[in-house]
Amino acid sequence: MKNFLLQNENAIYYECGYSCDNCIYLSLGSERFFITDARYEIDAGNHLKKGCELFVTNDLVAKCRKILQKSNIKKINFDPNDFSLSSYLNLTKKLNIKFIKTPNFSKLKRIIKSDDEIKLIKKAMTLGRSGFEKFQDYLQNDAQGKSEKYLAYMAQTFLSNYGKYDLSFEAIIAINENAAKPHAVPTSKKYDRKDLLLFDGGIKYKRYCSDRTVTFGNDLSVVSNTQRTQKFKNKKQQKVYDIVLKAQETTIKTARVGMKASQIDKIGRDIITKAGYGKYFVHSTGHGVGLDIHEYPNISSKSDFIIEENMVYTIEPGIYLQGEFGVRIEDTVVMRSKKAEIL
C-alpha cells in the first residue's frame, strides 16, 4: 500500500517511531509526512524516523489538504475508524482524489509481530507479573476490610511500579458476585480473606502492552510463577475454577500454527460446555496484543484468522454466574515453533 493516511496514535507510531494525541500521518509513494501542532514539535523532531518530514501547524486538516493537493496521487487509503465525520468531510472536500475506505489496515499490517516486538511484549508481561506478585502479597497481609475501589487503586499502583509504567487499561478488581461481570467496575464492597477475587490488568513497556488475569482463592500462598492452582473453601467455586483452568491450559497446549482462530476458541469452549457451563462463557477466548491492548487476531467462534508464527494473543476463558461469582484465567501467548508459548 503506497498511499495511505493515518490518525490513530499507535498506527502512526508503528510507521514512524513517534505519535501524539494530535497528529496526522501521510504516506505518499516514497514520501512520508508527519503533521502536528507546536506542543509536540521538539519531541517529534527528536524521535521521528529518518525520511519522515515534519510539519507544524495549528490546522492539521488544512495542512494535510495542501500536501494532498500538491501531490499527483489519484487515490489514497484510509481507516474510517480514525476520523470523525466532520474531519473527513473537511479533509476530502474539493479534492480530486479517491478516498478508499480500508478498515483496520494498520492492525492487519501489525498482526505478525517482529522478534523485537515480541521481546518488548515479553518485557511488559514480566514487569506486569511482578505487579501481580506484589498485589498477591498485599492481599495476603494488608487487604482485609479494604474496598474494591481501594484494592483497584493498590493493584494499579503495584502494576505501574508506583507510576513508572503506564497501564495497558484500567485494572479490573472484582469480589465474588461482582466478578460475574467480565468488565466489572470496582465498588465499595469490602474484601474478606474468604472471598474470591478476580484481578485483570497489564502495563505498557515502550508502548507495548501486557494483559493477564488471576482469580484468587482463599489460600494465597499456593500461587506461584509456574502453576495456576488455587484453593477455594467454597466447593462450587473450586469446581468452576478447575473447569476454567482445564479449558485454559488445554487451549494453550493444543493451539497450533495453521489452525483457524475459531478452532482455538472451540478447544476450551467445548470443555466448559461439556461441564455444563457453556452458556456462562459469554465472551471470546482471546484477542491480539501489541501496541493496542486489543489487536488482531480475534480468538472467537466466528474468527477466520489463520494462526501464524509470531502472532501474539491472549487465552482467557471464563465462567460467570450472575449473582454468585465469576472466574477468568488469562495468559498472553506467542506462536513459536508452531505452538503457543506463554509470555
Mean pLDDT of 52-69: 95
Which pTM was predicted? 0.94
CA distances (Å), 204 to each of 32, 133, 209, 289, in order?
A: 27, 17, 4, 11
- The three cell numbers of residue 141 are 497481609
343 confidence band (pLDDT: 50, 70, 90): very high
DSSP string, 224-271: -SS------SSHHHHHHHHHHHHHHHHHHHH-BTT-BHHHHHHHHHHH
Omega before 297 cis (within 30°)?
yes
**Domain ranges, ordered by start, for the chain:** 3-109, 115-342
**Predicted pLDDT of residue 243:** 98
- The three cell numbers of residue 67 are 500536501
CA distance 191 to 174: 10
Q: Which residues have C-beta within 8 Å of that of residue 125, sequence separation ≥ 6?
A: 210, 212, 332, 343
CA distance 287 to 297: 6
**Predicted pLDDT of residue 320:** 98
Angle, in degrees to the nearest 10, between helices 60-70 and 85-92: 30
- The three cell numbers of residue 300 are 472467537
**pLDDT at residue 224 greater than cutoff 70:** no
Superfamily of domain 3-109: Creatinase/prolidase N-terminal domain (3.40.350.10)
38 confidence band (pLDDT: 50, 70, 90): very high
**Nearest CA among 74, 76, 39 for reference residue 58:** 39
Four-CA torsion 86, 91, 95, 99, nearest 10 degrees = -90
**Predicted pLDDT of residue 228:** 81
**173-206 pLDDT, tens digit each:** 999 999 999 999 999 999 998 999 999 999 999 9
The CATH number of domain 115-342 is 3.90.230.10: yes
Residue 5: strand pairing partners: 26, 78
Query: For residues 289 and 316, is the Cβ–Cβ distance under 8 A?
Result: no
**Predicted pLDDT of residue 221:** 59
